[in-house]
Amino acid sequence: MDKPSVRIVPFAPEYKEAFRDLNKAWIEQYFRMEPGDFASLDHPDTYILEKGGYILVAKLGDQIAGVCALMKMDHPTFDYELAKMAVDPSFQGQKIGWKLGMAILDKARSIGAKTLYLESNTILVPAINLYRKLGFVEVPDANSPYERSNIQMQCKL
C-alpha cells in the first residue's frame, strides 16, 4: 500500500486541539508556556484568525502531522509573523516543517505580504536551520515579548 502524501489544509475548528497540543508539547519540552502562548493556543480564532491571520495544518492521511500560523502584525517593517510551527515528533524527519513553511510563504505571498518575521531560540537548531532554508535571516536588536526568544528573523518575499 502506498504511503499517504502530506496535504496542507486550512485551519478548521476540529484542528483547534491539535494546534494547541502540538505547540504546548514542544514549548514545555524546552521552555515554559508564557501568556502569549496561552492566548494564541487557547483562542486561535480570536487571537490569530479574526485579526487577519491564518493557520495551516499538515495532514498525513487522517493524522495531523503539524501546524503553523501566519499572524498579522501591526508593525512598520513586518507584515506577518510565522508563528506556532509544530510538527508531531512521530512525523519529524519527513519534511513536514519544510512543507508547512513553504505553504505559509505561499499564503503570505498570495495575500500581498512583503516581509515575514519570526522569533525562536538558538537551542532549537533544526528549527533555525529550517528557517534559514526557507529564506529567513537574522534581525539584530528586535525586541520580543517572549522570555525564550533569543533570535528574531525576517524573510523578504
pLDDT digits (tens, 9 = 90+) for 16-72: 999 999 999 999 999 999 999 999 999 999 999 999 999 999 999 999 999 999 999
Residue 61 φ then ψ, to 5°: 65, -130
pLDDT for the residue numbered 73 = 95
Q: What is the DSSP letter of 5?
A: P
pTM of the model: 0.94
| CA gap 39, 56 in Å, rounded | 18
**Could you tell me whether strands 80-87 and 115-120 are parallel, antiparallel, or unpaired per DSSP bridges?**
parallel
Amino acid at 129: N
Could you tell me if 152 and 139 are in contact, meaning their C-beta atoms sit under 8 angstroms apart?
yes
**Pick from 112, 58, 124: nearest CA to 80:** 112
